[in-house]
Homo-oligomer: A and B are copies of this chain.
Amino acid sequence: MTQSNEMYNVAILGATGAVGQQMMDTLDRLNFPVDELKLLSSKRSAGKKISFKGKELTVEEAKPESFEGIDLALFSAGGSISKELAPEAVKRGAVVVDNTSAFRMTEGIPLVVPEVNSDALKNHKGIIANPNCSTIQMVAAMEPIRKQFGLKRVIVSTYQAVSGAGNAAVDEMYEQTQQIMNDEPIDPQILPVGGDKKHYQIAFNAVPQIDVFQSNGYTFEEMKMINETKKIMSDESIQVVATCVRIPVETGHSESVYIEVEKEGLTVDTFKNIMKDADGVTLQDDPTQQIYPLATDAQGKDDVFVGRIRQDLDHPKGFHFWVVSDNLLKGAALNSVQIAQSLVEQGLLKK
């Protein structure tokens, strides 16, 4: 895929987390031209050994000087760490692809889904933001429709997987599930939000809170979907509203998306054909054969899966569809590496 023969020194910050692990796998699987790989983490996880391409690497504690000699740094260790260390990495010559919410809405910092707005990378000043997982899969599916028919409004309800809240949340879900199966008492400690006041049962439940509440009654996750969609599509006039819900699925976010297009003439068949041709999208839509996207099928796959495409029977410009993707891959690690690939292809990543 790359147009140069350069090899790059790459750092992964948050290397021991769920996304960090996927970043390493994805660099390897997509054959990204890695010269040296440096694995960074908090002090607590430093010292762990992880192998990459048959070589054992030791995770180091991330410090400003860790980024000396690094060309590309993939960050996924929480917003406050990104705020502290991304400028330090940039100062030392690295380009940072940041998978936290720290810089997503900062003016001048590109927020990129390569299939949608790789052009925005041209203006980067060292930091590039990777959008929120739930946003990425939705905009990847909507963009090819928007290009041809415009996009007036988006109304989305999510069915999000627990791995989006980290490995400890996944452990909590499985432990809680077993306790309920055994008729034992449960003691939620993490979900819906690790640092929040109350914790609720996730096993055999649906919890309409992802991330903390904002003063306007929306959760931060919902505001991310609203604001990031407009920024990625460079159109503040698109009306977006979201309800984000966690359900007991390990990996694979599902979303029920309703859109209203601007132009007349879109049919279900045209919609399906556009999805068939779309980059990074796989159409799974045949009601006669009960074919539709499922979280269990999307796990471990790169694509965004779209199905259940229906025209609103009362509103010819309204369409419902169901979009599923691996939240750790296209929703996080894969999109970050694809941003890096696009930087290389556009000659925007310097040795």
Contacts and interface: CB of A to CB of B under 8 A. Distances in A.
Given A153-B315, A208-B254, A245-B254, 12 more contacts: A155-B320, A159-B159, A159-B206, A159-B245, A159-B247, A204-B296, A205-B295, A206-B249, A206-B295, A208-B322, A241-B310, A241-B315
Copies of this chain held together in the complex: 2
Number of chain A interface residues as a range: 35 or more
A330 interface: no
Interface in A296-351: 296, 307-310, 312-315, 318, 320, 322
Contacts of A258: 155, 241, 243, 258
Interface of A: 153, 155, 157, 159, 174, 177-178, 181, 192, 196-198, 200-201, 204-209, 213, 216-218, 226, 239-241, 243, 245, 247-250, 254, 256, 258, 268, 287-290, 292-296, 307-310, 312-315, 318, 320, 322
Contact of A226 (B226, B290, B309, B313): B313
A206 B318 CA distance: 23
A63 to B, nearest CB: 36
Contacts of A289: 197-198
Contacts of A320: 155, 241, 243
Nearest to A160: B206
